[in-house]
């Protein structure tokens, strides 16, 4: 039993270290591609850097185009914010991180006309002692705006599985109740039969049934 508290303590330490490690890791998560009209939509754009590359000057450019159209600049971040005149004027909000690994923006009050392709271009100039290399990366988001939110397929499956589980548990409970009831009934019948048989024995035979006491 003394080993159990030690195991719990060691597990807690490992979980704490792992949580701290995970929180410092940059993960390039893809953006959602469907928005509901009238809501705010975060266009997620993450470009991870290695720890030794954090010192860098970053320029972020956002473009928008309709299907078959041309890229139209709508937003730029270079030490400060530049918002280009477009259909999104006054509806774009910077939503990036201080280390410039997350360079996302949010579109406010999304409309049906906001459907299209959004491109996030990232240019980094790393500040090393010997040289200053320049790297570029790009992310594309194919956004579709709908009038109403559709029911999530995963939630539908979860609800179906929940109902199936409830039905299964109910049936299992009924079977267990019937089984227990029949078992108790058989036990009561056996007890009644033994009592009936005992009462049917003549009184003189009952006395003979007594166990003799050894001296």
Sequence ranges of the domains in the chain: 26-149, 151-183
CATH of domain 26-149: 2.60.40.10
Alpha helices in 25-131 (DSSP H): none
Token pair of 24 as six digits? 């410092």
| Angle at CA of residue 181, ends 177 and 186, nearest 5° | 150
pLDDT tens figures, 12-27: 333 333 333 343 567 8
Average pLDDT over residues 48-63: 82
Q: If you ran DSSP here, which 8-state letter would residue 68 be given?
A: T
Q: Of how many residues is the chain composed?
A: 215
Helices (H), the chain: 3-24, 153-200, 203-208
* Digit-coded pLDDT (tens) for 98-131: 888 999 999 999 999 999 999 999 999 887 777 7
What CA–CA distance (Å, rounded) separates 148 from 36?
6
Q: Which residue has the higher pLDDT, 51 or 176?
A: 176
Exposed, middle or buried, 139 (CB in 10 Å: 0-12/13-18/19+)? buried
Q: Which two tokens stand for residue 1?
A: 């039993």
Lowest mean pLDDT among 48-52, 64-68, 80-84: 48-52
* Structural tokens at position 35: 């928005």
Q: What is the pLDDT of residue 161?
A: 85
What is the distance between the alpha carbons of residues 122 and 128, in angstroms, rounded to a whole number?
A: 19
Q: Are 60 and 120 spatial neighbours (Cβ–Cβ below 8 Å)?
A: yes
Answer yes or no: are the C-beta atoms of 106 and 41 closer than 8 Å. Answer: yes
Q: What share of the chain in percent tops pLDDT 90?
A: 39
Which range has highest mean pLDDT (27-31, 136-140, 190-194)?
136-140
Task: Give the residue carrying structure tokens 């240019």.
Answer: 123
Provide the 8-state DSSP code for 88. T
Per-chain mean pLDDT for the chain: 79
Among the ranges given (14-18, 176-180, 182-186, 191-195), the one the predictor scored with the smallest mean pLDDT: 14-18
Average pLDDT value for residue range 165-193: 85
Contacts of 134 (CB under 8 A, 6+ apart): 123, 124, 125, 126
User: Dihedral (C-alpha) 30, 31, 32, 33: value to the nearest 10 degrees?
Assistant: -100
Q: What's the average model confidence in pLDDT over 139-159?
A: 80
Report in angstroms the alpha-carbon separations of 73 from 24, 34, 124, 167.
32, 21, 19, 56
């Amino acid at each position: 039993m003394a080993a159990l508290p030690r195991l719990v303590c060691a597990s807690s330490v490992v979980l704490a270290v792992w949580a701290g490690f995970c929180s410092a890791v940059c993960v390039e998560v893809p953006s959602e591609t469907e928005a509901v009209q009238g809501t705010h939509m975060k266009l997620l754009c993450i470009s991870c850097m290695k720890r030794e590359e954090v010192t860098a000057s970053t320029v972020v450019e956002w473009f928008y185009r309709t299907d078959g159209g041309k890229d139209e600049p709508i937003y730029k971040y270079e030490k400060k914010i530049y918002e280009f005149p477009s259909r999104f004027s006054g509806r774009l909000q910077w939503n990036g991180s201080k280390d410039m690994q997350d360079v996302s923006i949010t579109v406010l009050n999304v409309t049906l006309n906001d459907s299209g392709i959004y491109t996030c271009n990232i240019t980094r100039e790393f500040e090393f002692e010997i040289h200053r290399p320049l790297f570029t990366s790009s992310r594309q988001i194919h956004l579709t705006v709908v009038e109403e939110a559709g029911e999530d397929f995963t939630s539908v499956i979860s609800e179906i599985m929940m109902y199936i589980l409830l039905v299964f548990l109910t049936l299992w409970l009924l079977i267990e109740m019937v089984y227990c009831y029949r078992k108790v009934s058989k036990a009561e019948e056996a007890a009644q039969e033994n009592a009936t048989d005992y009462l049917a024995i003549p009184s003189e035979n009952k006395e003979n049934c007594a166990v003799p006491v050894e001296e």
